[in-house]
Each structure stands twice: as C-alpha cells, then as structure tokens.
Amino acid sequence: MSKPRLLNREEESLPLERELLVRMHDLMVKARVLEERLIQMYKQGHGYFWIGGPGEEAFNVPLGMLMKKGQGPAYDYLHGHYRQSATMLALGEEPIGAMRQMKNVVTDPYSGGRNFAGHFSKREWNIAPVSSPIEIQYTMAPGTALAQKRHGGDGISIVTGGDAGTAEGDFASCLVWSSRKGNELPVLIIVTNNKWGISTPAETQHGETHVADRGKAFNMRTKTIDGNDPINAYLELKEAMEYVRKERKPFLMEAMVSRLYGHSSASGANMVGNEQDCLTVFEARLEKHGILTRKEMDDLRNRYSEDMAAMARQVIQEPMPGPETIWNHIYAERK
C-alpha cells in the first residue's frame, strides 16, 4: 500500500468544507436507497436481475462529483461497469432511470428495456454503455483518451472495473496502450477492489500484492487507496485527476471497497454482515464533528426512501417495449 494520507485518529476537523461533506453524504444516501429499492424491486418480481454498487458509494460519489460532465472530447469519458449508480447520481442523474431499467420498461433511458439494471449509458454526458462482459471497457478507454489528447483541453478518460476482472488480458491492454513512450494517454485507470469475483476470493487467484503495483512496470503513477472513506477518496481522486488532466498521462488507482449485498441477485442480493459499511462509518464521523445530526440523516434517508418508493410505484405501471421494437436501432441512420 502506498503511503496513506495521515488522518489523525482523533481528527480535529474534517478536511473538506461542510457543504461538500453534506452533499457527498446526501448522494451516498441517495445511492444506497436507490440500490436497496432496486433490490426490493427484484425481490418483488419487478425485474429479472439485479446488479449494482451498494458499498462503493464512498468512492463512486466523489468520482461523479469530480468528473467534468459534458459531451465530446473536451469533457471526461466514463467507461464504467455495473456498480456505478452512485457515480451517475453524483453527476446529476435522476434515480428513476435506474428503476426503469430494472423493470425493463419502454421508458428505460439507457437501453429502452433491453439491458440489465446498472448498465448505464448516456451519450450526452460521455457515459459509455456499460456491458456485461468483464473488462472490455478497458480496451476502449485509450481510444477516447487518444481523441482527447489530440483535441486538447483537459478532458480525461476514466475507466472502472473490479479486481477480479484485472485477470483479463483487457486490463493489460489498457496498461500497454495508455503508456506507450511518447504517446502516453490521459486515462485514469480505476480498479475498485472488493476482494471478490462473484464467489471467488481474490487471494486465491492473484499473486500480486496490490493490483496497482502492475502499473509500475509501465512507468505510470499508481496508488492503492481506502475507497471506503469518501473524504480520502475525494482527495485522492482529485489529485489523480489533476495529474491526468495536466500531464496527459495515465494513472492507475486501486480503491479498496466493500461489497455489501454480494455479487448480484444471482448470489441472493442479501446484506452481508462482515464488510465495512462506508455509509455507517461516514455518518458516525459527520455526527461526531457536528456536521449533521442523527435525526437529519435519518430524515434524509426516510425522505429518499419515500421518494423512491413512489418512483417505483410509477415505474411498475409503465409499459413494456412493444415486440415490434426489436427491429429498432440495429443501425444508426443519418438524421
């Protein structure tokens, strides 16, 4: 592990402004409530499959907050994976979209009812379509990054995936293509390490001490960070992004995170008891430092729960895509 930020055990004050902390907390709660609502929809039969990111909010919220949102090479591209809902909400996305995708209704903004939950896509914000085959997004990030390097400005390409997927050759592809001598690319290569590949513990499959160490062979900056601490994640991401934006070179960041509901509905989508909950820990800190009271935090959670319950009720009334729509959009047509 590279040197962690020195956080005094008895920290006197939190190193971010109150407003930012409150916003971060708000988004983390919103994302957690959304995922729990999606899981509930699945368990009530309002969806065939759930996969998402509860447990990764402390990392994924800051990521979304720090992204440069917009369309085209002047802005950041996100080549995400299916645990990215908190990032989407932090970017300003409405939670109802994820529910619509869960229920696979015609109004699903990401795929029109065609794809699994958590498979976001939004061209207007450079959110590349999430796909199920593990790690393929790592081959694409250098492509958008090359266009960005050529375009000028400070837009970067961000790619995320899990630790298990780094066993795929596509992860190596990303390291190779991002770090070619004289042709380095502005890619922020992120691995959210939850220490699992579905049911398989990482330590039974990986010999490297840290996934991030693999970047060293390619002469890129790397760091393994605590991704369960949103303040730390925010500061580390900010620093890494500034480097990639300015130097136009890659950075490999490994964020240690939790997986609170297992892999997906395929493994039951039940709360696990043995992983650190980033939200619980963060709330204790916020309370301790007088940023928010317990009641304020509970009220917020209840408000989101009610809002999203209402959204879900609306979504389950919405129509399915018609069978004739299978023929739509096989090819793009000139407008």
Partner 1 sequence: MANMAQAVRMALHYAEENLGVTDIFGEDVGAPLGGVFTATQGLKTAWNTPLDERGIIGMAIGLAMAGAKPVAEIQFVDYIFNTIDLLKVAGNTCWATNGDWNLPMVVKTPVGSGIRGSLYHSHSFDATATHIPGWKIVIPSNPLDAYGLMISACQEINPVMYLEPKALLRIKGEERIPGEPDNDKLLSKMIDAPLGDRSQWKPQWPALEAYAVPIGKGKVVRAGSQVTVVSYGRTLPLCKKAADDLAAEGVDAEVIDMRTLWPYDWEMIKGSVEKTGRVLYVNEDTEVTNFGEHLVRRTVEELFYKLMAPPRLLAGKFIPGIGLADPLEMASVPQQGDITAAIRSLASEQP
**Selected binder of partner 1 within 138, 196, 234, 251 (CB under 8 A):** 138
Please give the size of the binding site for partner 1, defined by CB under 8 A: 46
Instruction: Report how far residue 127's alpha carbon sits from residue 262's, in angstroms, rounded to the nearest whole number.
Output: 25
Q: Does 72 bind partner 1 (CB under 8 A)?
A: yes
Q: Does 143 bind partner 1 (CB under 8 A)?
A: yes
Tokens representing residue 141 in the block: 């990030």
Q: Does 42 bind partner 1 (CB under 8 A)?
A: no
- C-beta neighbour count of 322 within 10 angstroms: 10
Tokens representing residue 155 in the block: 């837009």
Q: Does 169 bind partner 1 (CB under 8 A)?
A: yes
**Cross-strand partners of 77:** 157
Task: Give 302 or 328: the residue with its C-beta nearer to partner 1.
Answer: 328
Q: Does 157 bind partner 1 (CB under 8 A)?
A: yes
Instruction: Report how far residue 107's alpha carbon sits from residue 322's, in angstroms, rounded to the nearest whole number.
Output: 12
Q: Does 167 bind partner 1 (CB under 8 A)?
A: no
Task: Give 39 or 188: the residue with its C-beta nearer to partner 1.
Answer: 188
Q: Angle between the 294-315 and 278-288 helix axes, to the nearest 10 degrees? A: 140
**Cross-strand partners of 201:** 196
Q: Angle between the 294-315 and 18-43 helix axes, to the nearest 10 degrees? A: 40
**Selected binder of partner 1 within 98, 128, 212, 220 (CB under 8 A):** 128
Q: Quick one: which segment of 6-14, 29-37, 132-140, 257-265 binds partner 1 (CB under 8 A)? A: 132-140
Q: Is the CB of residue 24 less than 8 Å from the CB of residue 62?
A: yes
**Selected binder of partner 1 within 144, 193, 224, 265 (CB under 8 A):** 144
> Cα dihedral sign for 290, 291, 296, 302?
negative
Q: Quick one: which segment of 60-68, 126-134, 222-230, 298-306 binds partner 1 (CB under 8 A)? A: 126-134
The residues in 73-92 that bind partner 1, with binding defined as CB under 8 A, are 73, 77, 79
Instruction: Report how far residue 160's alpha carbon sits from residue 252's, in angstroms, rounded to the nearest whole number.
Output: 10
Task: Give 44 or 328: the residue with its C-beta nearer to partner 1.
Answer: 328
**Selected binder of partner 1 within 5, 180, 238, 303 (CB under 8 A):** 180
CA 152 remoteness from chain centre:
26
Q: Does 293 bind partner 1 (CB under 8 A)?
A: no
CA atoms in the 13 A half-sphere facing the CB of 8: 6
Q: Quick one: which segment of 40-48, 72-80, 203-211, 233-241 binds partner 1 (CB under 8 A)? A: 72-80
Three-state DSSP class for 121? coil
CA dist 300 to 86, 88, 99, 315, Å?
A: 16, 19, 20, 22
**Selected binder of partner 1 within 148, 192, 194, 228 (CB under 8 A):** 148
Q: Does 110 bind partner 1 (CB under 8 A)?
A: yes
Q: Does 332 bind partner 1 (CB under 8 A)?
A: yes
Q: Quick one: which segment of 173-181, 237-245, 268-276, 296-304 binds partner 1 (CB under 8 A)? A: 173-181
Instruction: Report how far residue 38's alpha carbon sits from residue 40's, in angstroms, rounded to the nearest whole number.
Output: 5
Binding site for partner 1 (CB under 8 A): 72-73, 77, 79, 108, 110-112, 114-115, 119, 121-123, 128-129, 131, 133, 136, 138-148, 150-151, 157, 169-170, 173, 176-177, 180, 328-334
